[in-house]
Amino acid sequence: MLENLSNEIAVLIAKPEFMKSLIIVLVGLIGHLVYVRMAHNWLGSFLRKAVANSRATGRREKQIQVWILLLERIGGFVILGIVSVSLIAEWGFNIAPILTGAGIVGLAFGLGSQNVMKDLISGVFIFLEGSYNEGDEVKLAGLTGRVKRMTLRKTILTSLEDESVHIIPNSEVKTISIIGKSKRLGKPKSQKRAIDG
């Protein structure tokens, strides 16, 4: 039985498809390693330079680490998908239905997540420009309060009057009125700016 299994493995390894599949997997692994290194070095360096003048570098560094991890995961899934489809095609399976299905799913996802993408893109600009930080007293989308938390998708304000909490999608932030900077940062008051969005 072991001899038959060894013979089958030897026959499998001797097939050209096996060597091509092995090359595809190796290229995918190397590509993933290169991508991870680029995400850590190039992207990390770019983001740190972009927010070098921010008043809250500690919080920005945490956000940068989250960004890098997120992009690593997305890149990993993309590379895994490419390698998987390449292997399926190499072993003679018809990949047309897979690509068609993936295209339909991608289109549906894109149409359903337009608002999410708007929020994320606006969040990126707010992050890079350092428009405001946690602890600042601001007026956003007609609401005034202290910035409790910032994410790529939303800004959470705590009202200065009744401690109510306002959750504002970043795409709704058209004009930013800064009433007062975070007290612990000791910055001057009264600033107003508009951002693209």
E strands, 100-142, in order? 137-140
* CATH architecture of the region 132-194: Roll (2.30)
- Averaged over 34-54, what is the pLDDT? 72
> Within a 10 A sphere around the Cβ of 147, how many other Cβ atoms?
20
Task: Flag whether pLDDT at 184 surpasses 50.
Answer: no
Strand partners, 191: 178
> Within a 10 A sphere around the Cβ of 171, how many other Cβ atoms?
20
Contacts of 172 (CB under 8 A, 6+ apart): 140, 141
Task: Flag whether pLDDT at 55 surpasses 80.
Answer: no
Q: How far apart are the first and last CA of the chain?
A: 68
pTM attached to this predicted model:
0.55
The per-type count for the chain, helices as H runs and strands as E runs, is: 6, 6
**pLDDT greater at residue 28 or residue 51:** 28
Q: Break the chain into its structural domains and give their ranges.
A: 2-112, 132-194
Total length of the chain: 197
Task: Flag whether pLDDT at 65 surpasses 50.
Answer: yes
